[in-house]
Amino acid sequence: MSENIFETFQTVVHLSEDLKSYHVFVVMGASGDLAKKKIYPTLWWLYRDNLLPKKTFFLGYARSKLDIKDFLTQKCRQYMKVKPDEEEKFNEWVSKNHYLAGSYDQSESFAQLNSKIVEISRFYEPETDDANRIFYLALPPSVYTSVTQLLSENCKAKKPHFTRVIVEKPFGKDSKSSSELSTHLSKLFTEEQIYRIDHYLGKEMVQNLIVLRFANQIFKRIWNRDSIENVSITFKEPFGTQGRGGYFDEFGIIRDVMQNHLLQILSLVAMESPISKNAEEIRNEKVKVLRSIPEIKLEDVVLGQYVGNPNGQGDEKMGYLDDPTVPAGSNTPTFCCAILKIKNERWDGVPFILKSGKALNERKAEIRIQFKEVSGDIFDNSCARNELVIRVQPDEAVYMKISTKKPGINFNPLETELDLTYKHRYDGEYMPDAYERLILDVFLGSQLNFVRTDELAEAWRIFTPLLHKLEKENIKPIPYVYGSRGLPEADELCAKVGKYTYNKNYKWKDSSKSKI
């Protein structure tokens, strides 16, 4: 692991006055899946790498009665990648974990939670009267309202200590429910105390967008409707609902991925240059561009639902409706391709294609910027459009597809690429997980990578009319086979409305594997 990558964080964490006092990180819903697979492993990695303020302890809270030491060492450990030489440090981290069982809707339980926080703070530092408090709500949305209410009434830190609350999506189901939740939260906490997590904002290549766009003069000049024909933002997963059908069916792919992860990426790709790197300046620009996007119309959308592949293996044989947790006859889409428009000076006429789906042919998240055709082409229309591809996952990469002379005795253009593949260029660099970056941001009080209330309201405004129409008219998605690339109808929409062209002649050669 490279030490350098952490230097900045460690310096900030250990020098900041605000971070010198005790911190308690409370995992609400500590017995659940998210806590087990993501939150506790992330806390361990941050602790292992000395990234957390030195005086931090951890408190789990859930209804189940459990022994936190057993839970961490037996249930969570498989997700924690503890190396043999880290045993001592791991045990040290486990010993800093505490647990309290309690309800999600009774004031006495939250009063006990408050007493427990104070008690543990005093155990570590007898003179102290409190600690900075971070509450991570790894909970189902059904208990958000009561938990936040009771936290606010019983568990806020005494000043000057801070209280921060991390909220997981879904942030409502449409404009109305989201606004109700936002209003509820805003009565209890200030905007500075609320951290709405969208884990895509913690991914390396999503964070890279701001640097790529605003630290390169060559991109600044061409990042507009004069040069760009279309932009695609794609999310694909090669597996279905995996028994989570009950949850998924309530939301569908649009709410699960598009309205949040893909729209967040879109806003970073399309926003104007912020005045500075300041979180509020950046979030102001993100909101501004979202405000320029009209609501999506049904005619600009293709919806799909996967069916089992009779020739597939295991899960692939199972269609969405075969999942016993999915209601019979459900019309919830598991695939969606939508074309968004941005009505502003920079983007007028440039389609933004958002594509997302489960049970497709591959795991991929990428941003593809397709440039306009060469004007005054002297090569008999044989030049492919340039493309800039930012691959978020798997294998982070930035590559630019360009035409060069085909090597040899000829004068023909050949589509090739300028390739920055991270695993080759930054071999050995430690790439923190999205949750590591985001949880650290909360300790540091940086809201840059979290979703602000007005941003959220705009995101719902864009999607709510479409979602309501789909539900009211019970619109049937088109079936596609588990493991396919998607729907031909989506390709047609991308070509016609999205102005996207696909060059099937392009063949990529992994030059890292070439012999010299």
Ligand X SMILES: NC(=O)C1=CN([C@@H]2O[C@H](COP(=O)(O)OP(=O)(O)OC[C@H]3O[C@@H](n4cnc5c(N)ncnc54)[C@H](OP(=O)(O)O)[C@@H]3O)[C@@H](O)[C@H]2O)C=CC1
Which span sits near ligand X by CB under 6 A: 82-90, 208-216, 476-484, 485-493? 485-493
Alpha helices in 99-227 (DSSP H): 107-124, 144-154, 175-188, 204-214, 217-222
**By C-beta, is 174 or 491 nearer to ligand X?**
491
Residue carrying the six token digits 């978020």 = 392
Binding-site ranges for ligand LXAUTJHC (CB under 6 A): 199, 237, 256-257, 365
In degrees, rounded to 5, the angle at the alpha carbon of residue 89 between the alpha carbons of residues 86 and 93 is 130
Task: Please pick, from the candidates 279, 346, 491, 499, the single residue that binds ligand X as defined by CB under 6 A.
Answer: 491
# chain residues binding ligand X, by CB under 6 A: 17
Which span sits near ligand X by CB under 6 A: 81-89, 128-136, 176-184, 394-402? 394-402
List the single partner that 491 binds among ligand LXAUTJHC, ligand X, none, CB under 5 to 8 Å by kind. Answer: ligand X
List the single partner that 256 binds among ligand LXAUTJHC, ligand X, none, CB under 5 to 8 Å by kind. Answer: ligand LXAUTJHC
CB 181 within 8 A of CB 148: no
Residue 360 DSSP symbol: B
CB 140 within 8 A of CB 172: no
Site for ligand X in 230-289 (CB under 6 A): 232, 234
3-state SS string for 43-65: HHHHHHCCCCCCCEEEEEEECCC
Active-site entry in 14, 199, 261, 424 = 261
CB 113 within 8 A of CB 155: yes
- Rounded to a whole number of angstroms, the minimum distance from the CB of residue 366 to ligand X is 7
Task: Please pick, from the candidates 214, 399, 426, 430, the single residue that binds ligand X as defined by CB under 6 A.
Answer: 399
Strands (E), 299-372: 301-307, 335-340, 352-357, 364-371
- Rounded to a whole number of angstroms, the minimum distance from the CB of residue 316 to ligand LXAUTJHC is 17
- Rounded to a whole number of angstroms, the minimum distance from the CB of residue 48 to ligand X is 30
- Residue 368 in contact with ligand X, rule: CB under 6 A: yes
- Rounded to a whole number of angstroms, the minimum distance from the CB of residue 485 to ligand X is 5
- Residue 430 in contact with ligand X, rule: CB under 6 A: no
**By C-beta, is 62 or 257 nearer to ligand LXAUTJHC?**
257
Record the tokens describing residue 64, joined without a space.
Answer: 């189940």
23 is catalytic: no
- Rounded to a whole number of angstroms, the minimum distance from the CB of residue 144 to ligand X is 35
**By C-beta, is 41 or 102 nearer to ligand LXAUTJHC?**
41
Strands (E), 270-396: 301-307, 335-340, 352-357, 364-371, 387-393
- Short-list 16, 449, 485, CA closest to 199: 449
List the single partner that 399 binds among ligand X, ligand LXAUTJHC, none, CB under 5 to 8 Å by kind. Answer: ligand X
CB 131 within 8 A of CB 21: yes
- Rounded to a whole number of angstroms, the minimum distance from the CB of residue 237 to ligand LXAUTJHC is 6
List the single partner that 502 binds among ligand X, ligand LXAUTJHC, none, CB under 5 to 8 Å by kind. Answer: ligand X
- Residue 75 in contact with ligand X, rule: CB under 6 A: no
- Rounded to a whole number of angstroms, the minimum distance from the CB of residue 396 to ligand X is 9
Q: List residues bridging with 133 in a β-sheet.
A: 24, 163
Binding to ligand X by CB under 6 A, coded x per residue (else -) over 293-332, reads: ----------------------------------------
Sheet holding 413-421, edge to edge: 413-421, 397-405, 387-393, 364-371, 228-236, 352-357, 335-340, 301-307, 478-481
Cα–chain center distance at 246: 22
Record the tokens describing residue 113, joined without a space.
Answer: 């939670």
**By C-beta, is 337 or 497 nearer to ligand LXAUTJHC?**
337
Sign of CA dihedral 474, 480, 486, 492: negative
Give whole-number Cα distances, 470 to 81, 307, 323, 352, 483, in Å. 43, 20, 22, 21, 25
Task: Please pick, from the candidates 249, 256, 396, 419, the single residue that binds ligand X as defined by CB under 6 A.
Answer: 419
In degrees, rounded to 5, the angle at the alpha carbon of residue 62 between the alpha carbons of residues 61 and 66 is 90
The residues annotated as belonging to the active site are 261
The residue ranges that bind ligand X (CB under 6 A) are: 232, 234, 355, 368, 389, 395, 397, 399, 417, 419, 421, 485-486, 491, 502, 506, 508
